[in-house]
Structure 1
Amino acid sequence: MLYVITCVDKPDHLQVRLDNRPAHLDYLNSFADKLIGAGPTLSEKDDAMNGSVVILDLANQAEAEDFCANDPYAKAGLFESVTISKWKKVLPA
């Protein structure tokens, strides 16, 4: 099952993101066989990173929750909110 994980950073936490980015990228790479796509969201004002979107092919909701809980960004307290949604890919086929 595909899951879209949408994370919103806490205000004024860009340095937390930057400090933990290498560990976060290593963590994502450890899921390379399950990773469909990932990247930061950007602010309209200045294109500063302000959140994350990750799409993973995981077995179930519990596995998605475990992924989120162990993300170095989450462990560093970066996120104001995290949403996990099931997703059905339609296009491109």
Structure 2
Amino acid sequence: MHYTVYCLDHDNMVERRLAHYEEHKAYLATSPVRMVMSGPLLAGDQETMIGSFFLYEADEIGDVMRFNSNDPFNKAGIWRTVDIRPFLKRVDNR
């Protein structure tokens, strides 16, 4: 099953986000579930980072939730909201 993880930052988190980026990136490399894709969500200016998006493939949503809860961005209080949902992939044009 695929799972989307949609995280929105608190306001004015760009500097804090950048301060924890290397730790976040290293943590993602340890994922026990398969990461299909990930990247920052952007504001309307298409430059300012305002959140994070992940698409995982995992057996259980709990595996994704546990991994996300220990993410350095989450522990640093960057994300205001985290929404994790099952996703039924019907089309993949990669």
Task: Using structure 2 for the length normalisation, give the TM-score.
Answer: 0.90
| Structure 2: segments with no counterpart, 5+ residues | none
Deviation of the 1:59 alpha carbon: 1.8
Question: Percent identity, aligned pairs only?
Answer: 27
Instruction: Extract structure 1 runs of 4+ deviating beyond 2 A.
Output: none
| Structure 1: segments with no counterpart, 5+ residues | none
Determine if the alignment matches structure 1 residue 31 to structure 2 residue 14. Answer: no
Mapped to 1, the partners of 2:46 and 2:34 lie a distance apart of 32
Q: Which residue does 1:80 correspond to in 2?
A: 80
Mapped to 1, the partners of 2:47 and 2:32 lie a distance apart of 26
Q: CA, structure 1 residues 33+68, in 2 after alignment: closer, same or farther (shift >3 Å)?
A: closer
* TM alignment of 1:12-51, pairs within 5 A: 12-31=12-31, 34-45=34-45, 47-51=47-51
Contact 2:33–2:56 (CA under 8 A) maintained in structure 1:
no
Task: Using structure 1 for the length normalisation, give the TM-score.
Answer: 0.91
